[in-house]
Structure 1
Amino acid sequence: MSLSDLRVTSPAHLVAVVPYLLGFHPRDSLVVVGRRGHTLMFAARRDLPPADTPFAEVDAFAQHVAAVVARQTVDSVVLLGWTDERSSGAALVSAVADALLELDIPVGRQLRVADGRFWCYLCTDEGCCPPEGRPFDAEAAEVRRRAGFDVFTSREVLVASVAPAGDEGMRVATVAADRRLEELAARTPPGAGPLLGEIRRAGARAIGVAMARHRAGGTLDDDEAAWLSVLLAHTPVGEHALERAAAAGWQVQLWADLLRRARPELAAMPAVLLAYTAWRTGQGALAAVAVDRALESDPSLGIARLLDAVLTDGVPPSELDRVEAAL
């Protein structure tokens, strides 16, 4: 489901849509949704700080959220506190609203969501916001029908969806891929230049096969996936893949599949490619999870650190489109 395809018709509809914007059902979270007219343009989530967090820290948190939102092209925002029975999230939502208004960013509704119901933080009319809250199950069912799929039940489940699969077949195939690379090096003329050239050509072929297969709705077999994961560990191949990475759902599926299957020490570039394509398609939560995997595999990888900064600062994909159009 694309942000640009959605037209929110009521507060209950907005609450029902949020998990599809994030990719999972939030818990103990602040969710910020940016709108331009009637179109949803931006959605972001942050963990709610503990209820006893000092005011100075809450204010700093709110200022950071407001700065991220200010980088987006939106007319107004809606704030949602996804809470439990022990904490209303009211203080944080109020602080974020104040920080946004200081930046002249209009704040629309401020909603609390808990246990399948929602309330308006600012409404005191029980006819509008009864004490027991208002359900949104009918709207959730309608959004689910339109989307045609379920989202992950939590961020932890999203993380698990790209965790190492530990498949024995891939382990054996990766050992064979290592030998294949050694054989390629053995028959290449001496010198780093010729070997890098051969590796780049082999990588380009492997990437071409992977993209054609996934574009057609298929997947790589173990030998193909292992060979690609081994080649991507080499800079020329990783650069070639990044040059061809685009905002396409099938590319997100390609790199998510390879990330799950790759040997952990080979996970950095598949994770970077997943992070980049997920970010370009508006799947910020998945992009953040992928960046974490990349940095876990290789903390010094420059492109992973850059993507981490891009996501932390809330840089929208449209900014890259603007820069590319100016070149």
Structure 2
Amino acid sequence: MQRPPIPVIRLGGTGEVAAALPHLLGFRPAESVVLVSLRGPGGSQVGLTVRADLPPPGSAAALARALAARVVTDEPDAVLLAVVSEAPDRALPPVLPVGSGAVEAWPELPHRDVVHEVVLALDGRDVPVREALLVRGGRWWDYDCPYACCEPGAGTPVPAGASPLAAAAVAAGAVLAPDRAALAARIAPPDGPAAAAMAEACLSAGRVHAGRLRASGRAAVAAEASTLVVDAAAACRPGPATAGARLSDARVAEVLWALTLSEVRDRALGLALGDDAPAAEVLWTECTRRAPVPLDGPPATLLAVSAWLRGDGATANVALDRAMAADPDAPLPQLLADGLAACLPPAQLRALISETLAPDPRSAGAG
């Protein structure tokens, strides 16, 4: 059975979108430019969200073009642009009216150059910017609003409380991180005695794995290893039977060596499409966090797929960084990273995985 699609979330006013940015990204952005695809009646349906660090001076145009190219893959009716920055208001040069001295200039909101370039880049692709916001210090401003509430130094408080998007994210199992570094920290390897114990468990499991390959052959070992991985995922299912349980180092090591076989990785990839997808993501997270290099590459890749299918591009990116660091020459992590950078929708990734794992009808009856 396939997992249900990611629920459609419709946000209300501009302030609600500003409050939802961390949940759309999976972490609290800082010094960032964010584009949110808007679709549906009145542009109230949130689609793809893309983010980048605010660019250095002179680089706004290039960044704007790159972000525009990514967000238009979602075929938006419009885009909401948000600049998240704690930069102060920008003081303009004094104005010199005819026949008088210098007059104090009115300050303006920061990063207007970035906003300008993003609007131009999207206009070149026939996509309008519905609103352009600055989010700063718990308040938001509309760059185009002429009223006092959006004057520099004013702003409107970002709404507090749980939003529909926050509730949906929690229901889907998402955990909001304070920043992108915190996402990476969730799967960072241990150090000290924990790392030494895990390394010893992996050495022991590796010797056993190699012995089984010599004695029984790859096909037999792959079949046993696939069952081992499925059972380990089942042990990670939420519920009273597994509450407070933690996979032992020895069991994690067995899973890590099982995933070195491509046949086992293929079956493990299929877990992301079924009812055990949440449990599998827990298993990949635990294996990635505790695995020594280079055994962390396969579970990190599987974690990226699970997160991506759940709509969590931020976690998927972090996991792919880990996978490519473990094995820079591994083709699948790089292909996935290219797809994620091109904003391949989770539904298309799901279809590609299903097609890849489907049995070849030409082989039916062969043997």
Distance 1:206 1:163 in 2: 24
Shift of 1:60: 2.1
Residues 165-180 of structure 1: matches in 2 within 5 Å? 165-166=190-191, 167=194, 168-180=196-208
Given that 2:30 and 2:85 are in contact with CA atoms closer than 8 Å, whether structure 1 keeps it comes out as yes
Percent identity of paired positions between Structure 1 and Structure 2 = 31
CA contact (8 A) 2:304 2:317 kept: yes
Contact 2:48–2:74 under 8 Å retained in 1? yes
Q: Secondary structure at the match of 2:86?
A: coil
Measure how far apart 1:48 and its partner are: 0.9
- Choose from 344, 352, 356 the match for 1:315: 344
Task: Tell me: CA distance 1:22–1:228, structure 2 relative to 1, closer, same or farther (3 Å).
Answer: same
- Structure 2 residue 163 is matched with structure 1 residue 157: no
Matches within 5 A, 1:1-327: 4-37=7-40, 38-50=44-56, 52=57, 54=58, 57-86=59-88, 88-127=110-149, 131-139=153-161, 151-166=176-191, 167=194, 168-188=196-216, 195-217=217-239, 218=242, 219-246=246-273, 248-321=277-350
Residues 280 and 9 (structure 1 numbering): CA distance in 2 closer, same or farther, change over 3 Å?
same
For the residue of structure 2 that corresponds to 1:264, the secondary structure is: coil
Instruction: Quote how far apart the aligned CAs of 1:20 are.
Output: 1.0
The CA deviation at 1:118 is 0.9
Q: Is the 8 A contact 2:308 2:316 kept in 1?
A: yes
Instruction: Specify the SS of the correspondent of 2:153.
Output: coil
* C-alpha separation in 1, matches of 2:264 and 2:34: 37
Larger Rg: 2
Structure 1 residues 323 and 299: alpha-carbon distance in aligned structure 2, compared to 1, 3 A threshold:
closer
Kindly state the Cα deviation for residue 225 of structure 1 after the two structures are TM-superposed: 1.0
Matched residue, 2:95:
none
List gaps (5 residues or longer) in structure 1: 189-194
1:68 is matched by which residue type in structure 2? R
Q: 1:35 is aligned with what amino acid?
A: L
Residue type of the partner of 2:292?
R
Number of equivalent positions: 316
The range that moved more, 266-275 or 71-80, is 71-80
Q: Which amino acid aligns with 1:124?
A: P
Structure 2 equivalent of residue 191 of structure 1: none
Cα gap change, 1:138 to 1:276, in 2 (>3 Å): same
Assess if the C-alpha contact under 8 Å between 1:3 and 1:21 holds in 2: no
Check whether the contact 1:164–1:264 (CA below 8 A) recurs between aligned residues: no
Unaligned runs of 5+ in 2: 91-109, 359-367
RMSD of aligned Cα (Å): 2.6
Rounded to whole Å, the distance in 2 between the matches of 1:73 and 1:215 is 36
Provide the C-alpha distance between the structure 2 equivalents of 1:265 and 1:71, rounded to a whole number of angstroms. 34
Question: Which deviates more, 247-256 or 177-186?
Answer: 247-256
**Structure 1 contact 3–39 (Cα < 8 Å) conserved:** no
Q: Distance in 1 between matches of 2:9 and 2:292?
A: 38
- The verdict on how the C-alpha distance between 1:286 and 1:110 changes in structure 2, with shifts beyond 3 A counting, is same
CA spacing shift, 1:308–1:9, aligned 2, 3 Å? same
What is the alpha-carbon distance in structure 2 between the residues aligned to residue 120 and residue 3 of structure 1? 30
User: Aligned pair in 2 of structure 1 residues 276, 11: CA closer, same or farther (>3 Å)?
Assistant: same
Residues 40-95 of structure 1: per-residue CA shift (max 9 Å, x gap): 12112111112x2x2xx422221111111111143221110011225822211221
Q: TM-score with structure 1 length normalisation?
A: 0.87
Change (3 A) 1:127 1:85: closer
Aligned-residue offset at 1:228: 0.5
* Cα distance change of structure 1 residues 313 and 173 upon mapping to structure 2, 3 Å threshold: same
Deviates more, 1:78-87 or 1:256-265: 78-87
CA distance in 1, matches of 2:152, 2:354: 50
Return closer, same or farther for 1:70/1:135 CA change in 2, 3 Å cut-off: same
CA contact (8 A) 1:4 1:39 kept: no
Change (3 A) 1:106 1:318: farther
Change (3 A) 1:256 1:49: same
Distance 1:139 1:15, change over 3 A: farther
